[in-house]
């Protein structure tokens, strides 16, 4: 079905009119939704403060979601913006039912135009559809918290457009956090997920049963819940989605509450391989996002209606079902600091509960008092949304994970007891330290569970951090909820050298069904079992601004099965080698078997395999943690430019490791790095950052080593930076930058990292000026204005959304030279400031790539730089591939 979506914001003066073709490129639209075959067009008219978020994902296709008239704060919307959706072709299903919910929305049958009245800004959609799913890992781009929030705030606060800014700009917000670590902390932060926020006041929260304390949900048996009023079901990909009739679904029942952090707002799109490919082309998304941004996103509440939700079995949905709420003990209980309300999301709703979610504002089972204020936008100081990519270092500050967590940690379900704190490889616990902070005032280290796929880092919808207490826990902590994401706050004390041992963080697994039912949730939980620990610290500056730093850990596999069966490549001794191959490469990792196979693959942009070659494995030398492989010759040994391919370890059907990067070098090109079989030479390796394993752990990083230059890059290599890989020349001729998504992000991430301090994870930094525009900020350079560096995420629209009225749209941003990656490169210590890359153009990408290399790398790198081709951006949905393909198509079979 083709849809034309027209958004009218009557309330406000339309500032923008956008017509966005939703191109094929948009995986969500095009691919994911089978229904949508042609490119839908979205016309957006008006933008105004309250933004509306729009997702281009299924929901859109589906049609819509109905916003409520209520504003987040409960106030009636001034005017109702309207969304008209025109289906050019018929929708497969009658999904589009005509109904009148809350009067806000009216849907019409297929082919007809659907007019949605957007109450206020409330309505919102997550543009991020892009984020594919996490599934594969977690791919969704946005968490509610993030973009939406940002949008939300921005609008609300004209001055501070984006939350982000605020962090930088707004002293108070930050200050509060800083000053009072425990205090509302994050919660207070503006970021509050729209979902929460909006509703809070009004309906939802109360409705939400916040589950109090018991972290353990009732037994599953309860189930029932489910969907309450699902009108129609649309199949998206493999999953079925239903539209909820109930206006307040989200609010009231929302799965969100379920504990998952993922913001409602951000709908995630599960990505299938196909989708992924589509995703590659994010421009479209960007455009959409921009449009959406213009509209604004506030809307948590809105989401609820109209938005297709993954459905449960029919049985589950009975509206009438009573809502059971269980208190999620932990959350609430802690310190009492957090009121139940605070945890709406966290509260885990049992399935039953979810039903409640659908019910309108179920009565609050618990006597909780009013929703906390943090919900209110006003309260929220503005801290960067959780899905924003932040640099690990800025100016003198550097947040580093000195001891990485183990690559596997079995998460516990609510129905289980805790499975303990995440441990470090060494047997201890992860250690995080903030360098460069000389003040005497303690800071608060925030920790939340983020995604680990190749997409932008964001809160993981299916996992939450779980506070561990007990005699064995030496680190104090407390939980706060932000945008449905549970955050553990840990004091960073000067007396401890601003170093914290993370022995108080466990990982809670939320039921896939619960999360998938959330409105706006597009990610799928199946096989989306990798996470990262994401650490953040907000440092107040004398000038009133706040510097926010973020460091994410290596990926952690949280499923029982995966931990036991899937091979994991943590390190590879060689990142690149001449096309003729023949060199032995040592892979270190886990779960290697004598029968393990190593397959080199070259993929086209569309994901198709152009070339596959099984490498010779020295079976005699195989160890569970080491594999000796002979690099196979590339199909074309006359390549003129470095060519990036992938390889993976396979233990059998559907038991493949993540894709690892490998670069074939032109024979003529001097080998940049030939690593001895011994351990990686981190530096040397760094030449082609991409090579570093993007997906799992930073093998190279020596947790203990404070500085890993490579790390920065490596970090980039990690999921967060998969894009880096993209940076590498892709074999496919076609690889138009545009098609590949995100390089920008990737680059940015890499760039930012300072050689000295490399934080593994996302490093991107974008700062916002007071006007709300993102600007690269260099702490050092006051001129820039905003200390806070925020990073836009890759192509994901959501990220783009952030800026509100002033909003800066990545797309637009591109033009600005200042933000060009190149600038970053210039930065001596890349770490300090990552250039802000808003939009990327191929050229930029290249530049970025180049700069990146230049920035942090050893001279050896120069070689590579010399080869332009390397610049080609190619990004692959590796994980996705794997995940989905695995299931079904094992490619090479």
Minimum CB separation from DNA for residue 576, in Å?
Answer: 31
Q: Which residue has the tokens 């995440």?
A: 422
* 174 Cβ contact partners less than 8 Å away, ≥ 6 residues apart: 166, 167, 381, 382, 383, 538, 540, 545, 546, 548
CB closer to DNA out of 80 and 477: 477
* CB crowding 734-770: b at 16 or more within 10 Å, else e: ebbbbbbbbbbbbbbbbbbbbbbbbbbbbbbbbbbbb
CB closer to DNA out of 98 and 889: 889
Minimum CB separation from DNA for residue 308, in Å?
Answer: 15
Helix residue ranges, H only, 68-113: none
CB closer to DNA out of 219 and 426: 219
CB closer to DNA out of 511 and 532: 511
The residues facing 626 across adjacent strands are 588, 623
Minimum CB separation from DNA for residue 16, in Å?
Answer: 38
CB closer to DNA out of 75 and 314: 314
What is the 3-state secondary structure of 520-572? CCCCCCCCCCEEEEEEEEEEECCCCCEEEEEEECCCEECCHHHHHHCCEEEEE
Q: What is the distance between the alpha carbons of residues 819 and 218, in angstroms, rounded to a whole number?
A: 51
Q: What is the distance between the alpha carbons of residues 865 and 577, in angstroms, rounded to a whole number?
A: 16
Beta pairing, strands 568-572 & 556-557: unpaired
CB closer to DNA out of 336 and 542: 336
Helix (H) or strand (E) segment spanning residue 288: helix 283-295
Do the Cβ atoms of 812 and 842 come closer than 8 Å? no
The residues facing 589 across adjacent strands are 569
Minimum CB separation from DNA for residue 220, in Å?
Answer: 3
Minimum CB separation from DNA for residue 746, in Å?
Answer: 26
Minimum CB separation from DNA for residue 556, in Å?
Answer: 13
CB closer to DNA out of 122 and 330: 330
Burial (CB count <10 Å: 0-12, 13-18, 19+), residue 562: middle
CB closer to DNA out of 428 and 828: 428
Q: What is the distance between the alpha carbons of residues 26 and 56, in angstroms, rounded to a whole number?
A: 8
CB closer to DNA out of 406 and 545: 406
Minimum CB separation from DNA for residue 263, in Å?
Answer: 19
* 608 Cβ contact partners less than 8 Å away, ≥ 6 residues apart: none
Minimum CB separation from DNA for residue 232, in Å?
Answer: 18
Minimum CB separation from DNA for residue 314, in Å?
Answer: 11
Minimum CB separation from DNA for residue 424, in Å?
Answer: 12
Minimum CB separation from DNA for residue 350, in Å?
Answer: 8
Task: Give Rg (Cα) of the chain.
Answer: 24
Helical pair 842-856 and 743-750, crossing angle rounded to 10 deg = 20
Q: What is the distance between the alpha carbons of residues 645 and 647, in angstroms, rounded to a whole number?
A: 7
Q: What is the distance between the alpha carbons of residues 577 and 585, in angstroms, rounded to a whole number?
A: 10
Q: Phi/psi at 714 (nearest 5 deg)?
A: -60, -45
404: DSSP letter: P
Beta pairing, strands 105-106 & 100-101: antiparallel
CB closer to DNA out of 532 and 655: 655
Q: In what order do the strands lie in the sheet with 393-394?
A: 393-394, 397-403, 431-435, 499-501
Minimum CB separation from DNA for residue 756, in Å?
Answer: 34
What's the angle, vertex CA 6, arms to CA 32 and CA 387, rounded to 5?
55
CB closer to DNA out of 40 and 506: 506
Residue whose C-alpha is closest to residue 279's, from 56, 525, 519: 56
Helical pair 743-750 and 709-717, crossing angle rounded to 10 deg = 160
Binding positions for DNA, rule: CB under 7 A:
217, 219-221, 238-239, 312-313, 410, 412-421, 423, 468, 470, 506, 509, 511-513, 524-529, 559-562, 564-565, 652-655, 884, 886-889
- Could you please report the per-residue DSSP string of 645-696? EEEEEESSTT-B---EEEEEE-TTSPPS----SSS--HHHHTTSGGGS-SSS
CB closer to DNA out of 271 and 713: 271
Minimum CB separation from DNA for residue 506, in Å?
Answer: 7
CB closer to DNA out of 122 and 886: 886
CB closer to DNA out of 154 and 878: 878
The residues facing 638 across adjacent strands are none
Q: What is the distance between the alpha carbons of residues 699 and 682, in angstroms, rounded to a whole number?
A: 9
Burial (CB count <10 Å: 0-12, 13-18, 19+), residue 233: buried
CB closer to DNA out of 313 and 608: 313
Q: What is the distance between the alpha carbons of residues 484 and 498, in angstroms, rounded to a whole number?
A: 28
Minimum CB separation from DNA for residue 419, in Å?
Answer: 5
And the tokens for 528? 């989306």
Minimum CB separation from DNA for residue 721, in Å?
Answer: 24
Minimum CB separation from DNA for residue 469, in Å?
Answer: 7
Do the Cβ atoms of 675 and 574 come closer than 8 Å? yes
CB closer to DNA out of 277 and 765: 277
CB closer to DNA out of 404 and 418: 418
Minimum CB separation from DNA for residue 566, in Å?
Answer: 8
Minimum CB separation from DNA for residue 844, in Å?
Answer: 36
Residue whose C-alpha is closest to residue 765's, from 451, 400, 385, 389: 389
CB closer to DNA out of 317 and 509: 509
Q: Phi/psi at 18 (nearest 5 deg)?
A: -125, 140
């Amino acid at each position: 079905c083709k849809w034309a979506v027209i958004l009218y914001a009557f309330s406000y003066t339309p500032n923008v009119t956008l017509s966005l073709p939703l191109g094929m490129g948009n995986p969500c639209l095009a691919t994911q939704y089978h229904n949508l075959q042609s490119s839908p067009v979205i016309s957006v008219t008006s933008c105004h403060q309250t933004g509306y978020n729009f997702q281009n994902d299924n929901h859109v296709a589906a049609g819509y979601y109905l916003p409520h008239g209520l504003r987040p704060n409960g106030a009636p919307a001034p005017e109702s913006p309207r969304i008209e959706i025109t289906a050019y072709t018929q929708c497969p299903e009658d999904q589009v039912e005509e109904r009148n919910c809350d009067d806000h929305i009216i849907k019409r049958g297929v082919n007809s135009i659907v007019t949605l009245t957007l109450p206020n800004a409330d309505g919102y959609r997550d543009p991020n559809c892009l984020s594919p799913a996490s599934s594969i890992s977690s791919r969704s781009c946005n968490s509610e918290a993030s973009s939406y929030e940002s949008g939300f705030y921005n609008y609300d606060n004209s001055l501070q457009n984006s939350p982000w800014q605020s962090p930088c700009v707004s002293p108070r917000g930050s200050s509060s956090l800083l000053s009072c670590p425990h205090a509302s902390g994050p919660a207070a932060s503006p970021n509050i997920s729209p979902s929460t926020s909006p509703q809070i006041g009004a309906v939802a929260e109360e409705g939400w049963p916040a589950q109090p304390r018991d972290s353990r949900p009732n037994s599953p048996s309860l189930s029932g819940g489910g969907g309450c009023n699902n009108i129609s079901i649309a199949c998206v990909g493999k999953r079925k989605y239903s539209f909820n009739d109930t206006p307040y679904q989200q609010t009231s029942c929302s799965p969100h509450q379920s504990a998952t952090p993922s913001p409602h707002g951000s709908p995630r799109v599960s990505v299938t391989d196909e989708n992924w490919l589509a995703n590659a082309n994010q421009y479209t998304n960007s455009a959409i996002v921009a449009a959406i941004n213009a509209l604004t996103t506030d809307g948590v509440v809105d989401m609820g209606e109209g938005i297709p939700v993954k459905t449960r079995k029919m049985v589950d949905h009975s509206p009438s079902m009573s809502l059971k709420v269980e208190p999620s003990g932990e959350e609430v209980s802690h310190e009492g600091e957090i009121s139940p309300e605070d945890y709406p999301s966290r509260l885990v709703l049992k399935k039953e509960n979810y039903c409640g979610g659908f019910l309108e504002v179920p009565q609050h089972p618990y006597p909780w008092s009013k929703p906390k204020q943090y919900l209110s936008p006003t309260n929220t100081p503005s801290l960067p949304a959780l899905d924003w990519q932040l640099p690990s270092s800025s100016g003198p500050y550097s947040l580093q994970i000195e001891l990485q967590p183990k690559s596997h940690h079995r998460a516990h379900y609510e129905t289980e007891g805790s499975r303990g704190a995440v441990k470090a490889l060494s047997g201890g616990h992860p250690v995080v330290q903030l360098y460069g902070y000389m003040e005497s005032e303690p800071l608060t280290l925030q920790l939340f569970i983020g995604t680990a796929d190749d997409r932008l880092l964001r809160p993981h919808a299916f996992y939450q951090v779980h506070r561990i207490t007990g005699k064995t826990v030496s680190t104090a902590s407390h939980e706060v909820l932000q945008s449905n994401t549970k955050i553990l706050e840990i004091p960073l004390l000067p007396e401890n050298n601003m170093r914290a041992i993370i022995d108080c963080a466990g990982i809670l697994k939320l039921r896939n069904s619960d999360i998938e039912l959330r409105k706006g949730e597009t990610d799928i939980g199946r096989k989306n079992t990798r996470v990262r620990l994401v650490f953040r610290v907000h440092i107040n500056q004398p000038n009133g601004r706040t510097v926010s730093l973020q460091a994410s850990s290596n990926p952690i596999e949280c499923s029982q099965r995966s931990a036991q069966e899937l091979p994991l490549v943590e390190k590879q001794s060689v990142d690149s080698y001449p096309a003729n191959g023949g060199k032995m490469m040592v892979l270190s990792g886990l779960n290697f078997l004598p029968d393990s196979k190593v397959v080199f693959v070259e993929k086209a942009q569309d994901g198709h395999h152009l070339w596959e070659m099984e490498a010779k494995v020295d079976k005699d030398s195989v160890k569970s943690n080491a594999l000796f492989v002979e690099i196979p010759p590339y199909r074309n040994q006359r390549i003129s430019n470095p060519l990036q391919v992938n390889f993976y370890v396979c233990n059998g059907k559907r038991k493949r490791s993540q894709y690892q990067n490998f670069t074939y070098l032109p024979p003529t090109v001097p080998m940049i790095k030939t690593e001895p079989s011994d351990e990686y030479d981190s530096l040397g390796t760094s030449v082609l950052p991409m090579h570093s394993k993007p997906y799992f752990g930073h093998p190279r990083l020596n947790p203990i080593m404070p500085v890993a230059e490579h790390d920065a890059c490596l970090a980039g290599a990690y999921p967060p930076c998969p894009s880096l890989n993209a940076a590498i020349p892709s074999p496919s001729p076609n690889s138009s930058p545009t098609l590949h998504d995100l390089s920008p992000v990737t680059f940015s991430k890499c760039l930012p990292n300072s050689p000295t301090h490399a934080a593994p994870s996302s490093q991107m930094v974008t700062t916002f000026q007071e006007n709300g525009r993102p600007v690269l900020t260099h702490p050092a350079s006051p001129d820039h204005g905003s200390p806070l560096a925020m990073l836009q995420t890759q192509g994901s629209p959501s990220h783009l959304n952030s800026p509100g009225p002033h909003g800066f749209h990545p797309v637009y941003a591109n033009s600005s030279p200042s933000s060009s990656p190149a600038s970053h490169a210039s930065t001596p210590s890349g770490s300090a400031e990552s250039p802000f890359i808003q939009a990327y153009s191929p050229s930029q990408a290249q530049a970025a790539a180049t700069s990146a290399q230049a920035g942090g790398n050893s001279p050896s790198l120069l070689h590579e730089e010399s080869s332009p081709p390397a610049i080609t951006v190619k990004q692959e949905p590796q994980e996705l591939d794997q995940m989905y393909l695995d299931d079904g198509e094992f490619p090479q079979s």
